[in-house]
Amino acid sequence: MKFLDLAKVYIRSGGGGSGAVSFRREKFMEYGGPDGGNGGRGGDVIVEAVDGLNTLIDFRYQQHFFAKSGQPGMGKQRTGADGADIVLRVPVGTEVLDEDEETVLADMTEVGQRVHLAKGGNGGFGNLHFKSSTNQAPRRANPGQPGIERTIWLRLKLIADAGLLGLPNAGKSTFLSVTSNARPKIADYPFTTLHPNLGVVGVDNVEFVVADIPGLIEGAHEGKGIGDRFLGHVERCAVLLHLVDGTSEDVVQDYETIIGELEAYGGVLAEKPRLTVLNKVDALDDEERTERQVKLAKACGEPVMLMSGVSREGITEVLRALRDLIDEDRLRIKRDAEEEQPWQP
């Protein structure tokens, strides 16, 4: 399935049905008079957050969503039928933006959350509504109210517990592949990851979700590279895992590049709890490990962990450190292998 995290959508609610002008005319019936019914109400446009989706790819093939209009009123005091609503089903974590792409209309953060984006028009009154003691044979009815038409943007921000940060080829995809069942593309050239990947990671009988986004480069906040497009996906993470390539010529410069881009991006990214890890230490001898770990720790002002995604050295310790930084209500108890086995007589 292709990944799509931004979509432009055109919506229109249904218009109300017109009221009817009708009079009761039946042979041998003593009492006549106006009997035109009201028009039906137009359908609403609703957005709903559903489980099981992690992309907006459905909105690439359909961009126009129009609710049904209400039916006109009829004689014999019959009210027109209401128009059917139309529901836009989106992944959890989707933001609904106005046409300016800045004004947030709704933030869909929970499964089952529903928000009305456009109300349907009310139906018009039939001539029966206008009957009074002084106007016993009204010959007018109201038209229904028109529907609301607008353009909106859907922007997906994946909801994960931990987000991976780093320069291209820092080892983020390798880390995700060895700690979860996710299978991101891995290669020895930059920008191997072209869209975010999610993986469920388990340690010490608990599970949490890790998001891997494309690597950042210097100037990403100005639109350079592709990683800036996906920084929004780690805005909702509880903790950030910053991987620094241990084989780089200047690990401090690599670290400061990412931190500078987080601060330039704005928001709360730079303030989130962050765990810094020196990766690919399997390619370093003991002296190089110590030297680069000390330099990096001095630059970030906190302890730096050592890890290798290839040899799996230090991975368990890193996962436990991440677990300690994630709120307990985000963690999920991992099912035991025995519980996962189907029952057999």
Q: Is 166 annotated as a binding residue?
A: yes
Q: Is 170 annotated as a binding residue?
A: yes
Q: Is 310 annotated as a binding residue?
A: yes
Q: Is 72 annotated as a binding residue?
A: no
Q: Is 308 annotated as a binding residue?
A: yes
Closest CA to 167 of 139, 191, 135: 191
Distance CA 27, CA 14 (A): 38
User: In terms of C-beta distances under 8 Å and separation of at least 24 residues, what long-range contacts does 311-314 make, across chains too?
Assistant: 311/282, 312/178, 313/281, 313/282, 314/277, 314/281
Q: Is 169 annotated as a binding residue?
A: yes
Q: Is 230 annotated as a binding residue?
A: no
Question: What are the distances in angstroms from CA 71 to CA 37, 83, 128, 134, 243?
Answer: 11, 7, 17, 30, 60
Residues 6+ apart with CB under 8 A from 66: 11, 12, 14, 86
Q: Is 214 annotated as a binding residue?
A: yes
Q: Is 240 annotated as a binding residue?
A: no
Q: Is 194 annotated as a binding residue?
A: yes
Q: Is 94 annotated as a binding residue?
A: no
Q: Is 212 annotated as a binding residue?
A: yes
Q: Is 203 annotated as a binding residue?
A: no
Q: Is 55 annotated as a binding residue?
A: no
Q: Is 131 annotated as a binding residue?
A: no
**β-pairing, 64-66 with 94-97?**
unpaired
Q: Is 167 annotated as a binding residue?
A: yes
Distance CA 81, CA 87 (A): 19
Q: Is 6 annotated as a binding residue?
A: no
Q: Is 254 annotated as a binding residue?
A: no
Q: Is 172 annotated as a binding residue?
A: yes
Q: Is 213 annotated as a binding residue?
A: yes
Q: Give helix then strand counts, H and E, for the chain.
A: 6, 17
Q: Is 173 annotated as a binding residue?
A: yes
In degrees and rounded to multiples of 5, residue 75 shows phi and psi of -65, 175
Tokens for 341, please give them: 């086995």
Q: Is 28 annotated as a binding residue?
A: no
Annotated binding site for GTP: 166-173, 191-195, 212-215, 279-282, 308-310
Annotated binding site: 166-173, 191-195, 212-215, 279-282, 308-310
Annotated binding site for Mg(2+): 173, 193
